[in-house]
Amino acid sequence: MGKSKVLVVGGTGYIGRRIVKASLEQGHETYVIQRPELGLQIEKLQRLLSFKKQGAHIVEASFSDHKSLVDAIKKVDVVISAISGVHIRSHSIGLQIKLVDAIKEAGNVKRFLPSEFGLDPARMGHALEPGRVTFDDKMAVRKAIEEANIPFTYISANLFAGYFAGSLSQMGSFVPPRDKVHLFGDGSLKAIFLDEYDVATYTIKTIDDPRTLNKTVYLRPQDNILSQGELIGIWEKLIGKELEKTYIPPEGFLTTLKGLDFKLQVAIGHFYHIFYEGCLTNFEIGEGGEEASKLYPEVNYTRMDEYLKAYV
C-alpha cells in the first residue's frame, strides 16, 4: 500500500506548520486547509503559499461550511488537526466537533489525529480550575470521535521546547535567564521536553502504523526526560555560570492565581500539575498506549543541550 494522503487543519499554526513540513518530508501527499476567516493575516497566507511551493495542495474549507469540510476530507485518508488549544494564543479545541461531524459524513477517513500534543487529558480529571477547561474540551472531542467510531491516534507530546525549555520553564518569558532563576518546589520532579519538529516527525510516523491505531502515543524520548533543575544545569554548563536560584513552594505558587487574568490562571494551573505533581512522568504507559521513541528508534531527536545552544 502507498502512503496515506494527509489533510492538516490548522496547518499555518505553531505546531501545524511543522506537521505539514514533516508530512511532505516523509513522502505523503499533503493537503492544507485555507479558511476564508484568514482575512488579512498576511503571514498565514504567505505560509500557505510556501507550502504550495513545497508540493502541498491548498484546499478551501470553513468550519462554518459543513459541505466544504466534507469535500476536503474526501480527498484524503488521514486528517490531522493542529488548531490552537493554548489560551495565551487562541483556544479553538471545541471547533473540532464540527470536524468530527464532517469526518463521519465523509466516511473515508482511516485515521484522525485531533489537536492534543500536550498533557494526556484522560489523566487530568483532577486538574485545577480554570485550567481544566483545556482537558475537558479535549475529552469532549475524544468522546465525539469514539462515539462516531472514527479510527484515531492521540498524541501526547508533553512540553514544547519553545515554550518550556528555552525559558528554563520560567513564566512570562521564552528566553533563558542569565542571572536569576525560579525553581518550582525543589526542581527535582521530571518533565519531558520536545523540539517541535520532533513532535511533528513522530506524529506523521504514526499515521500508517497499525500499532498506533486507536491508541495514545506518548512522546517520551529518554534523554529528554529531565527535571527543571537538570535543565537549568545544562544551561549553566553552556554559559559557564551558576545562576542564583529561588525555590517556590507549592502553596506560594498557587496564591499567585488570585486576581490574575483568566489566561494566566489557566497557564499557572498547568504549571502546577507539571512541576509540583510531576504529571508527565508519574505513571507507566498502559495497554492503551505506546511510546514513540521505542516505536521509531530511527528518529534522531534533538537533545536539550543541543536545543539550548541556540540561546547562548
CA 175 from centre of chain? 20
User: Look-up: residue for cell 489560551?
Assistant: 87
Catalytic residue among 21, 104, 138, 205: 138
In contact, 190 and 228? CB cutoff 8 Å: no
Q: How many residues does the chain have?
A: 312
* Nearest by Cα to 232 from 159, 306, 302, 305: 305
Q: For residue 248, report the phi and psi dihedrals to the nearest 5 degrees.
A: -105, 115
In contact, 17 and 46? CB cutoff 8 Å: no
* Nearest by Cα to 127 from 274, 255, 257: 274
Q: How far apart are CA 205 and CA 127, in angstroms?
A: 30
26 residue type, one letter: Q
Is 138 designated active site? yes
Q: How far apart are CA 10 and CA 82, in angstroms?
A: 5
* Grid cell for residue 48: 500557505
- 164 contacts: CB under 8 Å, gap ≥ 6: 191, 193
Active site residues: 138
